[in-house]
Amino acid sequence: MIVLAVPVVLSELGWVAQGVVDNIMVGRLGPEAIGAVSLGNAVYYTPCLFGIGLLLGLDTLVSQAYGRRDHDECHRWLAQGVYLAFIVTPPLMLIVGAMSYGFTRFGVIPTVAVPASTYLRILNWGTLPLLLYGGIRRYLQGVGQVRVITLTYILANLLNWGGNWVLIYGKLGFPALGVDGSAISTCIARVAMAAALLVFAWRYERQRGHPLFRHWAAPQLDRLRKLVRLGAPAAGQILLEVGAWNLSTFSASYLNPVALATHAIALNYASISYMVPLGVSAAAAVSVGHAVGSGNPARARRAGWLALGLGTSFMLVAGVVFLVAPRALISLYTTDPRVLAVGPTLLCIAAAFQVFDGIQTVCTGALRGLGETRVPMIANFIGYWILGLPLGLTLCFVLHWGIYGTWIGLTLALVVIASALLVRWRNDSAKIALTY
């Protein structure tokens, strides 16, 4: 489990590091720039992560086929994932493009709204390589090739960091593009990521004697339907979860630039810690899927519980770090005294939900390995949209608790979701053992 999980965890950290790098690199431009990048990313990822979520069915389909040692079936599912990426990209780009014109109309602070709009429109051009990367990555995880994903993210982040330095501040003869330069750099990094993984998948399969493109499958409607049928609930779960946090970012933009920047920094730290159980979750999905495919339910159950132990243990440590050194963590982004006054309390609230966030994330992956994707979607809908968000927005805007109120509501949501999914995993993993 550790051998599989560590490279995936590093890959997830590399994923969130792109947003962290963007926020740090624009930090010298002021709170408005941090807020613009944060708001642009929040709006962009809400629909685009839905597209990536549609490809999560590859976790189940590829890993179970690999567990049966059916390599041709793995190739066929990768092909359908690539076709699905091309199918969903145009509507996603249209949605994001339309949303980029809505900031000022919805009352976002003009000093944040204008740069956020242009940042979002540029970032939109990286949608297809992002989805292609997502599909190829799920395939490689399913066949147990995870180290290359980590290496790809390291190189992509170095490329993004260098591109930010050159394009934001106008180095090496390039014009200083500010926030727009950050978006261009991110798009370039995404193209490089997708290309690198595709080349590796081709070389890996050729060396194994299963050439990837020799019998490349044509689009198959029944397979596309199965992939969507399995991935749509997972995509819905991601949309509900990410949408809730992104709505909190959007609501923070109605407060003031300092509140928005502070929220963005605290959310970056929560996202960094979240990436570890998210990586463990992916490892759980693959391990459980391999075990189910090979007809070993005891190993499937053991893999899920082991992943839960790893993920929640890390989140306990992360919560302690947030409690012990909140001011030092905030100061890595900015020394603005207004941000430093608000940020430590937000990190203390984040500390309170770390373990619950780890439980719900790993349970989602373990259940996906069993082929169960609907229950996490339902749990996220009830937890975030019925309970957490209404409470948080009420505390924020009606009782005037500000950004603290929003985070308290989201904490309640995570407690509810984690409890529900833990019970479901316990029941489903026990039930599958009885079917063999």
Which tokens is 30 given?
Answer: 């002021």
Distance CA 41, CA 35 (A): 10
Q: Give residue for tokens 């630039």.
A: 257
> Total domain count for the chain?
1
% of the chain with per-residue pLDDT over 70: 98
426 pLDDT above the threshold of 90: yes
The residues, any chain, with a CB within 8 Å of residue 248's CB and separated by 6 or more, are: 263, 389, 392, 406, 407, 410
Provide the domain limits for residue 423.
2-434
Q: Per 3-state DSSP, what percentage of the chain is helix, strand, and coil (rounded to 5)?
A: 85, 0, 15
The residues, any chain, with a CB within 8 Å of residue 215's CB and separated by 6 or more, are: 72, 75
Mean pLDDT of 223-235: 88
Distance CA 386, CA 210 (A): 48
Angle between helices 71-99 and 179-208 (to 10 degrees): 170
Cβ–Cβ < 8 Å for 228, 54: yes
pTM: 0.75
324-345: buried (b, 16+ CB within 10 Å) or exposed (e) per residue? eebeebbeebbebeebbebbbe
Indicate left, alpha or beta for 136 from its phi (over 0: left) and psi (-120 to 50: alpha).
Answer: alpha
pLDDT digits (tens, 9 = 90+) for 335-391: 888 888 888 898 999 999 999 999 999 999 999 888 888 999 999 999 999 999 999
pLDDT digits (tens, 9 = 90+) for 157-171: 889 889 989 998 888
Check residue 433 and give its pLDDT: 62
pLDDT digits (tens, 9 = 90+) for 80-89: 999 999 999 9
Cβ–Cβ < 8 Å for 410, 369: no
Distance CA 108, CA 115 (A): 11
Distance CA 148, CA 157 (A): 14
Distance CA 149, CA 127 (A): 19
